[in-house]
Amino acid sequence: MSAAGRFISLEGIEGAGKSSLARALEVMLVARGLTVKLTREPGGTPLAERLRALVLERGAERISAEAETLLMFAARAVHVENLIRPALSGGAWVICDRFTDATRAYQGAGRGVDAELIERLAHTVHGNLWPHRTLLLDLPVDTGLTRARRRAGAGDRFEDEDRRFFERVRAGYLALAAAEPARVRLVDAANAPDTVATRAFDAIADLLPGAA
């Protein structure tokens, strides 16, 4: 196995438990002597975090689905260039809370943005860089939204969407898992956090140094 790191993305609807899983995986990987960089999208670098705030805040001005898509990719372009690629070249494992699959699911399946446009932007922004593995934390929309709304904080522009929007997002994610089963692995997020972490770790174990 080369010295280059591994790129893992976590996906799922709100309330799926991605952030807790990211922290649990970090602990498990660090315990095996690996260097881990936890990051998220939109965000991950100072400029990309500023773009995140702009795209998630509730404002008076309407943001079209296309503008939203471009903002996601603007943040991603900065993040890939300034954090993800350098971290991978340095041999780190990058665990990224969401990546381009989120644009496919939210802007594509959720908002109806042209899939070809999304694929063209993805190619421009990150070429052939894709996660080595994507863990899709799947759970019923009602369960996810109940969990998300119980969290502290005022939520964001996406959390104001209705249930039907999140059903389309979830279906979009499941279609991605069906289309790319080698990369995108389904993890049942309705389980207890420890079980989710164990199953998620099993789903990336073949990428560990020395794994068959």
**Which runs of E-coded beta strand occur in 55-160?**
93-97, 133-138
Residue 84 in contact with residue 116, Cβ under 8 Å?
A: no
**Sites for ligand TMP among residues 6-35 (CB under 6 A):** 14
Dist. CA 136–CA 65, nearest whole Å:
23
Which one of residues 94, 102, 109, 186 is an interface residue with ligand TMP (CB under 6 A)?
A: 102
H/E element, 179: helix 163-179
Nearest to ligand TMP of 158, 201 (CB atom): 158
41 binds ligand TMP (CB under 6 A): yes
Which residue in 89, 96, 86, 103 sits closest to 25, CA to CA? 96
Nearest distance from residue 103's CB to ligand TMP, in Å? 4
**Sites for ligand TMP among residues 113-172 (CB under 6 A):** 158
Nearest to ligand TMP of 29, 101 (CB atom): 101
Nearest to ligand TMP of 132, 159 (CB atom): 159
Residue 78 in contact with residue 49, Cβ under 8 Å?
A: no
| Residues binding ligand TMP (CB under 6 A) | 14, 41-42, 56, 72, 97-98, 102-103, 106-107, 158
